[in-house]
Structure 1
Amino acid sequence: MARPRGPDLTARAIPGAEFALRVTPRASRNQLTEEDGQLRAQVTAVPEDGRANKAVSELLAEALGVAKTRLTLVRGATSREKVFRLD
């Protein structure tokens, strides 16, 4: 059985919902955490050619229990502060 890599966000999987995250690329492992209501994503991917964005999208989709194609990056393509929308 796969080990969960973060909080269970399935209750927040409402179409149109937006998720703001603080991202740390080049981390030692992929994980999603929530501290004081702020989502934080650590990914091992490098921030080049959208690799880190793709890794964050996959982590968030897993935590929400949705397909990664349902998430759209709204803001922060080149920033550590990102906003994803669930379509």
Structure 2
Amino acid sequence: ELHGRLPLYHIDLYRLDHIEEVEELGLDNYLYGKGVCVIEWAEKGLSVLPAEHLMIQIGYLSDTERSFQLKPNGKRYLEVLGQLKHLTLN
């Protein structure tokens, strides 16, 4: 947990094998709180994610390059990506 303007929570689901393990973690305070929650290996816990969320997939291209794919889920994140697109084009 990091504190700044908003708390930042980092969760890594890599070592979990079953959705029951994810559910037992009790992530609701982080997922539905006032901070930003960053989850590695989030595909292991898709059923516990809020309906509205932003999925960011980072792909390996080479030792010095990565690709980023942003997938909005819900109106809020569609708007966020629209604003981001506007900023990057101007």
Same fold (TM over 0.5): no
